[in-house]
Amino acid sequence: MIKIVPLSEDDILFDAEAAGEALDKAARRLRPVRFSGLCPIGRQVLFVFNECDADEDDSDAKFVFSRLPSCDINEVSAAFLSRFTGGFDTLGTFFIGDDLWGLFKRLPRNA
């Protein structure tokens, strides 16, 4: 089974927290799923969840969108390191306009 969650750029810009909660909800299914990738298309971003073993699922994950400070490689690397130190995994990046955004997840075992 595969679950694809489309979110518009406007939804992410208007309320990034609610957009993250939409991904939280998608990960809480009867069948265990884990995040496997994202694909920006036009003004939409598709977020893909694949079925997995129960011990690998993202049902307890907290997904967070964050605008990154710039497109400078050193600043982006520092932002990733900061998120990792805070217990978050970096899942991917995408542009909204000229701004680079990141998707991160935190699992209870990373807390």
**pTM to 2 decimals?**
0.92
Residue 42: pLDDT over 70: yes
Q: 14: which residues sit within 8 A by CB, 6+ positions away?
A: none
- Note the Cα 21 to chain centre separation in Å: 10
| Confidence at residue 109, expressed as pLDDT on a 0 to 100 scale | 67
- The per-residue pLDDT for range 63-105, each reduced to its tens digit, is 999 999 999 999 999 999 999 999 999 999 999 999 999 999 9
Give the CA radius of gyration of the chain.
14
Residues 72 and 74: their CA atoms lie apart, in Å, by 6
State what percent of residues in the chain have pLDDT above 90.
89
